[in-house]
Amino acid sequence: MKTLLLRTQKNKNKKSTVFSHICLLAIIVILFTLTINPVNGQEDMEKSIRIINPRPDFVLSLRLDKGVGATYAPGERIRISFSSTRDAYVSIFGYDSYGTIRLLFPNQYQKNQFVEANKDYYIDGEIDSASRPGWEYVQGFATTEPVIISRELERIIERQLFPKLEEGIARFTLRIRGILNNLSPQRWVSSEVVPYQVVESRARTGRLRLNSSPSGAEVYLNDRPAGQTPLAMDSIRVGEYVARVELPGYQTWTRTIQINPNQTTSVQSNLVSMQRYGSIAIRSNEGNARIYLDGQYKGLTEKNRNVLLEQVSEGFHDVQVILNGYRDWTRTVEVKRNQQIQLTVNLERVVRTGNLEIASDVDNARIYLDGKYQKNTKINRSVAINNIQEGNYELRISKSGYRDYITTVRITADRVNRLNVKMQRAVREGSISVSCNESNAKIFINGIHMATTSAYQTEIVDGLKEGVYEVAVIKDGFRVWLDEFWVYAGEVVSLNANLVQIRN
């Protein structure tokens, strides 16, 4: 049995050697085929990951910012846009040339996988700097319920921007196909498999023009000497640089600049002389006043808060604060190195005044402006009220026996406002109400017959000017009823005339 076993083993070894040669030859043929026709490999990959719904009710569209089949270099930005023709739960996956699968949507920044119908969504990312040249793919799935993203995957999203799936492409595709097959065709759809190619990054260059004022300054890029200004570099690698410009007697100038491929970046460096500086703090009682330093506008004041003027050179300076309606504020101050001067600015209103002249047809009427007594009128002569602050005022002129004259006057600065006032006499009237126990008695007021009584109603005599009146009520066969009364304006005097019959 051992001999048989050994023979069998030898025969098996010979067969294994032949099989190894056949396999090696097959591998060489396959590699040769892929070399001369890489498109077939791409198509095979697309077919292996594509999951198709034969009867979908809606569409999920995927687009790349550079189009289908575009090329990207490691480190290059990429944008994927997508939309669904109905409200759905969307998941999008990326497949790289290593066979790695990553969840692109949802992600750390876009955790909600629910998307609204016919609305564009975007995924912004960057091609991994470690990506090797080759084809990569993007594919998405939309379902009417959240069945693809598991709770475990949701927890991974909390730790990774674009979570990496540990299962291989074949197992992943089989799992997703199993999930979707449990849904009716009307409840899910897949997108097209969108390919793009990662190519080797090439050293890209741009141009730099850097000038300074004054010129002749030393230029350093990322701390390496680059030359003197004006500096012209026609082949500088694309990227971000820290430019430093130095010139004795001037402050060092530093700026971060970006060099873009096949473009010229122009930079102007205005060097500041190394003078000695201080600062001025200005606090004003009014806001929005204009601040000038040596005649140059520097900003606006803030009410009861400091406004700081920094980098003021050492020496004497003129400070001016200006606000319409206020007197200009001016000071000359001495600024010292590394010291701050505190200025308190109290702006004073400019009082602008005008005059008022009033001519009246009555004498000794009292003149009031906004309720404050000013002067008395003089008949047929003007009375002047001077130095009235600009603005609107209520003018009232009063005199006993006359109606008050009331109007609004506008006082304009440096002008005389003239008014000609005609006063109207006040008509002050009252009434007498007469009740009588007899009808057809005659009512006389100051000897004038005014009305006839009725035993059933009161007679009222209107239009009596304020004053004393004699009232008599007379009827044949009755004693005369006679009395005196004072009638006040706006009041009614009630009288009860009780007539007594004369008996023979």
Structure tokens at 323: 């606000």
Structure tokens at 322: 């200006």
Asked if residues 208 and 237 have their Cβ atoms less than 8 Å apart, the reply is: no
Domains, the chain, in order of start with CATH, read 41-198 (2.60.40.2550), 205-270 (2.60.40.1120), 277-345 (2.60.40.10), 353-421 (2.60.40.1120), 429-497 (2.60.40.10)
Q: Which pLDDT belongs to residue 141?
A: 97
Q: Which pLDDT belongs to residue 275?
A: 73
Supply angle C-alpha 389, 395, 401, rounded to 5. 150
> What does pTM read for this prediction?
0.38
Q: Which pLDDT belongs to residue 41?
A: 59
Side chain identity at residue 291, one-letter code: I
| DSSP track, 218-252 | EEEETTEEEEESSEEEEEEESEEEEEEEE-TTB--
CB proximity list for 211: less than 8 A, separation 6 or greater: 229, 230, 231, 266, 267, 268, 269
Whole-number Å distance between alpha carbons of 321 and 139: 66
Q: Which ranges in 266-364 belong to alpha helices (H)?
A: none
CB proximity list for 272: less than 8 A, separation 6 or greater: 250, 251, 253
Q: Phi and psi of 437, rounded to 5°?
A: -80, -5
Beta bridge partners of 134: 198
Asked if residues 385 and 412 have their Cβ atoms less than 8 Å apart, the reply is: no
User: Tell me: the pLDDT tens digits for 65-104?
Assistant: 988 888 988 878 899 999 999 999 999 999 988 889 999 9
Q: 32: buried, middle or exposed (CB in 10 Å: 19+, 13-18, 0-12)? A: exposed
Query: Rounded to whole angstroms, what are the CA distances from 386 to 145, 351, 367, 412?
Result: 86, 13, 13, 12
pLDDT, block means (10 residues), the chain with 504 residues: 26 36 34 39 81 94 90 87 97 91 93 95 86 91 95 89 90 94 95 92 82 95 93 90 92 94 93 86 96 96 95 93 94 92 94 91 94 92 91 93 91 91 82 93 94 90 89 94 89 92 84
Q: Phi and psi of 132, rounded to 5°?
A: -95, 160
Supply angle C-alpha 471, 476, 482, rounded to 5. 20
Q: Which pLDDT belongs to residue 65?
A: 92
Q: 453: buried, middle or exposed (CB in 10 Å: 19+, 13-18, 0-12)? A: buried
Beta strands in 145-204 (DSSP E): 164-165, 188-190, 194-198
Whole-number Å distance between alpha carbons of 270 and 248: 14
Asked if residues 355 and 387 have their Cβ atoms less than 8 Å apart, the reply is: yes
Query: Rounded to whole angstroms, what are the CA distances from 348 to 287, 297, 321, 329, 330?
Result: 13, 21, 11, 9, 12
